Amino acid sequence: MIGATVVTPTYYLVLATILFTIGGVGLLVRRNTLVMFMCIELMLNASNLTFVAYARALNDISGQVIVFFTLVVAAAEVAVGLAIIVAIFRRRQDVTADDVDLLKG
Amino acid sequence: MDAVVFFVCAAVILAGAFGVILARNPVHSALYLLTTLVGVAVLFLQLHAALVAAIQIVVYASAIVVLFLFVITLLGVDRHEQLSDPRRFQRPAAVVLGVLVAVQVIVLAGRHWTTGVAPPGHALDPPRSGNVERLARSLFTDYIWAFEITAVLLVIAVVGGVVLARRSGQRPGVAPPADASETHA
């Protein structure tokens, strides 16, 4: 039965890998910059899950400290990224990634 | 019991993740992101990381998702994304590459001969002491410089956000000219 299964850290790592993959595929597939940002959050969460799973498996608290810093970086990234999206929207009235192609030769 | 919690949370997390990338409306994507974040927080609790779980709820599930929703409502970008893709092969290629990455990580990183480290396949033993106390001790001794630099990073992020979101060419204290585009934005 499912209740008798022993959950090892490998389970968490595989789940984090799948979550990271979904985030990466979403980042490539979607065109809305806001949804692309959410996919980056998914990938960051997957890495956080890996850190915490290893912190638990190795009984080392450093993994959780790293997650703390990751959260801070994610918050800063979201603040600056959303400000960039607002600035792009003011100029172009759209937030589709295909429209921001001024650097294309 | 652990297994039941894990599999229920895994189902919630994966359903939320698929919802984020498949929902047409960005607001729905943000709400699916919320379910994923809460599921990850429950798994953090399951891994005896209580403080990290609390921070996950407070910072991610509250602050960041609300920030997303706020920007969506501010910009009015609830229009649906166009379905036709100018680059036809990008979507299948992205899915194929994603599956390839997942298989690579699971197969290669799970083997002893590639990493030189035995995969953590043993059952988990109970933690030795309180989580918050150990985390605080580590954070304020070993990682004190990183912690201090975090403050600098946050200040830079706040200043950068304000500078970027401010209307260019607008002086502080001067009312912006009322034109037609502003009422819609």
- How do residues B52-105 score in pLDDT, each as one tens digit? 999 999 988 888 999 899 888 888 765 656 655 666 787 888 888 888 888 888
Supply the pTM of this predicted model. 0.83
Mean pLDDT of chain B: 80
ipTM score of complex: 0.89
Q: Which residue has the tokens 């194929």?
A: B96
Q: Strand pairing partners for A100?
A: none
Which residues between 80 and 99 in chain A have a beta carbon less than 8 angstroms from any beta carbon of chain B?
A: 80, 82-87, 89-90, 93, 95-96, 98
Neighbours of A99 (CB within 10 A): 13
When comparing pLDDT for B6 and B177, which is higher?
B6
Residue whose C-alpha is closest to residue B124's, from B38, B23, B2: B2
Out of A4-18, B27-41, B115-129, the most confident range is: B27-41
Q: DSSP of B58-118, one letter per residue?
A: IIIIIIIHHHHHHHHHHHT--SPPPS--SSTTHHHHHHHHHHHHHHHHHHHHTSHHHHSS-
Chain B CB contacts of A87 under 8 Å are: 164-165, 168
Answer yes or no: do A56 and B48 touch at CB < 8 A: yes
**Closest CA–CA distance from residue B185 to any residue of chain A (Å):** 8
Which residues between 11 and 40 in chain B have a beta carbon less than 8 angstroms from any beta carbon of chain A?
A: 13-14, 17-18, 20-21, 23, 26, 29-30, 33, 36-37, 40
Residue whose C-alpha is closest to residue B26's, from A64, A100, A32: A32
